[in-house]
Structure 1
C-alpha cells in the first residue's frame, strides 16, 4: 500500500517568497484594481445606498397583513410617546406627532434593519431640551447672543426653530459621517459606558418631570450641578403643589405601570391562542387610553380653569407647510449637535444590531448612519413609566462588578459625571476617559514551516503551509469594547477566505480526506498577543466562538493567560460554547492529528484496500 508524507496534509498558500503589496511599488496596478469603477461596483453601491431596492425584490406578499398590523401597533404607541417626548424637548406636542410620522417612513426606505422603527428617544429629547434651555428664555422666546465669525448675532428664535435647526444639523453630521464611512465610531462606546450613560440620563429625565408631577413651575437650569439646584428649588416650593395635578399624575403612573408589568403579560398569553397572534403580539395601548381618558376628564370637568391643571391646549390639524430659512442659526448649533448625533446613532444602532444577531441577518453600520441622518399630567406619567427599563440598568453595575472591577469604575464614573455635569459634558468626559488609546488590530492566518515547530504568517512565506482541516489564527491586540466587533468580523472573514482557497488548491487525490474535513473542522486561535479581554470584548469573544461552533468548527485556544481565562469563565464561556484550552499551538495540532489518526485507522479497518496516510 502506498503511503503519503505529512506534507500532503497541507495546502501551499503562495509561490512568492514574501508577499508585500505596496502602492508605491505598483502604483498602476493598485489604481487599476482599486480606483477604476465597474458596472458590478456601481450596482453594489446603488443597492447599498438604497437598500429598499434589494428587499423589495424578495418581499413576500404573505408578510403584508402582519406588517400592516405591526405598523398600526407602532403608530398607536408613537402617538402618545411622541407627544410626551416633545414636551420633554420643550417643544409643542404637535411636533412629537410630526416626529413620529416622517422618520419611520424615511428609515423604512433607507435603513438596513428589518425590525427597527425610528421615533422619539427620551435621552435625545432631554438633550434637545437642554440645548433649548441653554439659551436665554424670555416671554416664550429664546434670545441668542453669540459671535459668529466677526459679527455679533442678536436675534430671537422660538423653541421650534431651535429644535428644527438642531435636528437639521444632527442629520447633516450623520450624513457626513456616513459618506466618510465612519460608522465605526460606535466601537468607542462600550456596553458599560452605554449602560451607565443611559441609566444616568434616565435619572435626569425623571428629575425633569418631577416639577410637572407636582404641578410646580420652577426655573429651567442647565450646566454643572443643575440636578442639585432643581431639587433644592423643588423642596422650597413644595407648598405650591397642585393636589389635583399630583393625584392625576400618580393615578396615571399606577395605571400604566400595572397594565405594562402585570396585565399585558397575561393578555399576551391569552391572545396566543389565536394563530394570527402567535408571531405578531399587539400590546395594550394603555398610554393612548390614558391620554384619551385624561382629555375627556379635563374637558368635561374644566380642570385647567377650575383647578389650574396644566394642559397642552389645542393640537393643530394636518401638517404645516415645510419652511425654514434661518441658516445663520446653524453655526451656533454645531457644537451642541455633535453629542446628540453620536448618542442617537449609538442607541439606535445598538438596538438594530441586537435584533440582527437574534434573527441572523446583517445591518450596515454606515448605511444605518445615513438613514438616521435622513430620517402634560398624563404625558408626564407616560414619560416616567417609559423610563422603567432605563432605570433598571442601574443593576448592571452588580453584574459588571463581578466580572471586572475596572469596568465597574467606568460605569460609576459615567453615571456620576453625567448626573453632576449634565448629559453633554458627561459624554465628553467619559469618551476621553475610555478612548485614550485606540488602534486597529490585525488578524493573521498562521502556517508551519518544514520543521513543524515554528509557526509563521502563511501569507508572507512561500514555504509556510496550512492544514486542510485546521485553521490557525492570531489576533494581535486586546479584545476590548472598541474592537470586539472587528475581532468577530476578522475571524469569520479569515475562515471564509481560507476555506475558499483550500477548496481551489486541494488535489483531487485527497478526496477521502476532504470528506472527513467537511464533517469536522478545527480552528486554533493563538492568544499570545491578546493582552487583555474586558467585559464587552469578552462577551463578543464568547459569541464568536459560539458562531464557530454553530458552523461545525472545534475551537482551540492556545497561549491564553490564566487571568483572561478567568474573565471568560466569569462570563459563562463553558456554559455557552465548546472550547478546548491547550498550552501551545503544537500541542493543539498534535491532539487533532491523534484524533484524525484514530478515525483513519477505523476507516482503514472497514476499507482495507484504501491507501494509508502517515501522520
Structure 2
C-alpha cells in the first residue's frame, strides 16, 4: 500500500513540477511532461541502480534555459502584426527553435557523459573534498531560489549572463520590488506557509497516521480549483500555465 500511495503521489506531483521546470528552461510547459516520462522508461530497461532518481531537475533546467534563451531570444522572432506598425513575437517559431536548441544541447551533453564514462572519469570525483561538494550544492540551491523569485513577486527582471550574473539578477529583482504583483505574492506566500507548516507537523503526526499528509498534492489541487473557479487569471492577472495540448506535439522544422 505504501508503494502504491508513493507512486500515485509522485506521479501527480510530477505533473506541475515538470511543467514548472520546462518554464525554467524557456520551453513550452508540455515538454516538461515529456522529459518526466521518457527518461524514466529508458532507465527502467537500462538503469543499474535503484537509488538513481531520473527526471527533471531545477538546476539543469536553468542551465538549459540559459542556452535556449541566449540562442533564441524574442527579438529574433519579431513580426509585424495586422497593422504593420508594431511588432509581436512569433511564439510558434520561437518555441520550435528553442525546442531544437534544447534537444541538441541535451544530446551533446549525453554524448560527453558517455565519453567520460568510457574513460572512467568518475574516478576524479573521489578526490573532491566535502566542502567543495557542499559549496556546489549550496550554489545550486541559490540559483534555484533566485530563479523562482521573479515568479513569486510577479516581476520580469532582465536576463544576465557571465560572471556574477546571479548577483545582478538578484539586484534587478530588488529594484523591481515596488512593482510587485500583490495577488501573485499572496498566492505564493499562502502556498509556502501551508507547505512549511505541513513539513513541521508531519513528524509529529506520522505515528498516528498510516501515511504522511500529502500537503503538496493538496496544495496543487486546491490552487487549481481556486484558480479555475475564481478566474484568478482574468480577475487578478495571476499568470497560469494555460492550455496544455494533449498527445505528442510535432513542431516541424524551423526555417
Q: TM > 0.5 between the two?
A: yes
Aligned length: 239
Aligned to 1:244: 183
Q: Offset at 1:241?
A: 1.2
Whole-Å separation in 2 of the counterparts to 1:284 and 1:125: 29
Aligned to 1:103: 39
Check conservation: 2:72, 2:97, Cα contact below 8 A: no
Unaligned 5+ runs, structure 1: 1-64, 143-154, 273-281, 327-615
Q: Offset at 1:225?
A: 2.0
Whole-Å separation in 2 of the counterparts to 1:236 and 1:87: 23
Whole-Å separation in 2 of the counterparts to 1:215 and 1:190: 39
TM-score where L is the length of structure 2: 0.80
**2:170 paired with 1:231:** yes
SS of residue matched to 1:158 = helix
Matched ranges for 1:81-480 at <5 A: 81-135=17-71, 137-138=73-74, 141=77, 158-260=97-199, 262-271=200-209, 283-320=212-249
Whole-Å separation in 2 of the counterparts to 1:202 and 1:251: 22
Matched ranges for 1:522-537 at <5 A: none
Whole-Å separation in 2 of the counterparts to 1:120 and 1:283: 24
TM-score where L is the length of structure 1: 0.36
For 1:375-406, what per-residue CA distance to the aligned partner results, in whole angstroms no more than 9, with x for missing partners? xxxxxxxxxxxxxxxxxxxxxxxxxxxxxxxx
Q: Which has the larger radius of gyration?
A: 1
Whole-Å separation in 1 of the counterparts to 2:158 and 2:29: 21
Whole-Å separation in 2 of the counterparts to 1:243 and 1:171: 42
Whole-Å separation in 1 of the counterparts to 2:152 and 2:20: 13
Check conservation: 1:123, 1:198, Cα contact below 8 A: no
Shift in alpha-carbon separation, 1:299–1:163, aligned structure 2, 3 A: same
Whole-Å separation in 1 of the counterparts to 2:52 and 2:3: 13
Higher strand share: 1
Whole-Å separation in 2 of the counterparts to 1:235 and 1:178: 43
For 1:110-136, what per-residue CA distance to the aligned partner results, in whole angstroms no more than 9, with x for missing partners? 122123331122221222222223335
Higher relative contact order (Cα pairs below 8 Å, separated by 6+ residues): 1
Q: Offset at 1:214?
A: 0.9
Shift in alpha-carbon separation, 1:306–1:77, aligned structure 2, 3 A: closer
Shift in alpha-carbon separation, 1:320–1:177, aligned structure 2, 3 A: same
**2:8 paired with 1:72:** yes
Whole-Å separation in 2 of the counterparts to 1:99 and 1:284: 27
Shift in alpha-carbon separation, 1:68–1:288, aligned structure 2, 3 A: closer
SS of residue matched to 2:243 = coil
Check conservation: 2:9, 2:217, Cα contact below 8 A: no
Q: Offset at 1:313?
A: 0.6
Unaligned 5+ runs, structure 2: 79-92
Whole-Å separation in 1 of the counterparts to 2:188 and 2:20: 13
Q: Offset at 1:186?
A: 2.9
Check conservation: 1:77, 1:285, Cα contact below 8 A: no
